[in-house]
Structure 1
Amino acid sequence: MGFPHPVRWIGSLISNLTDLFLKRAERTLEPDKVNKRKRKLGLIMVIIVITVSAGICFVILHLAYTLNSVLGLIIESVITYQCIAAKSLYVESMKVYKALEQEGLEAGRKAVSMIVGRDTASLDEKGVIKAAVETVAENTSDGVIAPLIYLAIGGPVLGIAYKAINTMDSMVGYKNDKYMDFGRAAAKLDDVVNFIPSRISAVLIILSCLFLGKDYSFLGACKIFFRDRFNHASPNSAQTESACAGALGLQLAGPASYFGKLVEKKYIGDPIRSIELKDIKRANILMFGASFLCEAICILILMIWINM
């Protein structure tokens, strides 16, 4: 079964609070005040989720270290490991790869639907591959580099606080009728905490091209990053997507269907070549390369700090 994953607990807390607060907001007598109440309750949820998540993490670590320093180190290591999603990102994206390779398009659509928010029923094979590559590219920041940065700054407590913010955004940060107002605080806070990490992640992706081989273009990553890094409604998402697109010589993003509605989105990158199945593997290699660089830099900074 393994150690219980904290993100599952955080997700359960968010889900329960969302149901409770949305029902309460809908009971507001004045229709014109419903949206305002949703925004207020959404902010309250953000405060509760962060406080509870970080607070429980702090208490667990404090008790563990009080009982035994070795136990504390083990618990801290487990929580730290669970804050970083490199393995799960690789595993889930490679499920798409294997499904397309071994079972065909329908299996690929089903696999990619587990990791993206867009509608997947009408995607062709290249569309499925592109969705998987984009997910790996975007989550290189959200799921790997940003947690590493916050863990390096504030340990597991700050790492869990970041995961709570990121999970809230993924659950209620949608711009639809249900969550537009309620999820606003979560979405805005997610933009703030990812602003710097997303840009650091993009730079790390670009630098990793220097030692990953001929499939990765350093100059292409630089060019598309500086040109297309704002081609997204989010101030952060296109940072890593543009670096990845340029590194691989692909065109990513563009129009996509969400909840049955076609959403017009700008393209990221140039179609220097047609996307292919191996690009899912290549995107993962970029992710691991950037992760390695981030860890190396964090360790170097820590060593310098200790020796000062």
Structure 2
Amino acid sequence: MTTTASSEFDTDTAVTPSGNGHYSTTVSDRWVIREGVANGGYLLALCVRALGDQIALPDPLAVSAHFLRPGTPGPAEITTEVVKQGRRTATGSARLSQQDGAVVLAQATYADLGGMPDPAAPNGTAAHGDTVTSHDTAAPHNTAAFDNTAPALADPDSCTDPLTLSEQPGVTLAARVDYRLDRVPGFWYGTPSRNPVSEFWLRFADGRAADTTALAMLVDAAAPVVLDLGVGGSSTIELTVHMRARPAPGWLACRAFTRHLSGGYHEEDFEIWDSAGVLVAQSRQLALVR
């Protein structure tokens, strides 16, 4: 079936089946990060949407994608294969291709994040709605400058909208997602701070509530924090996302950080916490600096 078009994200991740696990779609120009180049997380969400149509379980649990070349606005084909359909998890793969060949190779394992009791929760109770509670234990040798709780951010209305600081010509994704910065990283002012850590609010600009499919895109929707090391840009090579819970409606509190930049490559870790303070997604990507 074709995805219901109820928001910009739903409209622009719609896929149409053509039989035998094949789908046609259109890479929209509303999610580009520079002229003619689509955001990688958005391309991954297209793969997740098509593969989810083949799998009975509702939530992408672990998703990994390799980006072979830039995706560009225009027609695309997605080929899916279900490798395992189990009772609690199911796994499959998806390949998004355009005229020049394969663009994204993705694999994903699906589950039902609303149907699994949490052994750490008293009496199997849930934190909100049908999402189980979370229990975090700090690593014994945690060297991060922050703990394992949600970012402590000021109210979004008191934070800075980065689009008021500088124009982003050609970055149409910036009109699709709202950002609010509690602390403005130095690169926004043209003076990199050498501290590649950022904590901020994020949500869809049209009011669409995030779900587990949207999280696959949102972990890649912010400016890379490696910019605060003075590099000119970053291109994702591989992205892995773990969905931890279905998000409650409202602003999402995010934390992004890079620890290592070497040989022209860097990693970026990204965490998303929902409005109830529950960790809902974690990701890590390896990227090439430009």
TM-score, normalised on structure 1?
Answer: 0.23
Structure number with larger C-alpha Rg: 1
Q: TM-score if structure 2 supplies the norm length? A: 0.24
- Pick the structure with more strand per residue: 2
Name the structure, 1 or 2, with higher relative contact order (CA <8 Å, separation 6+): 1
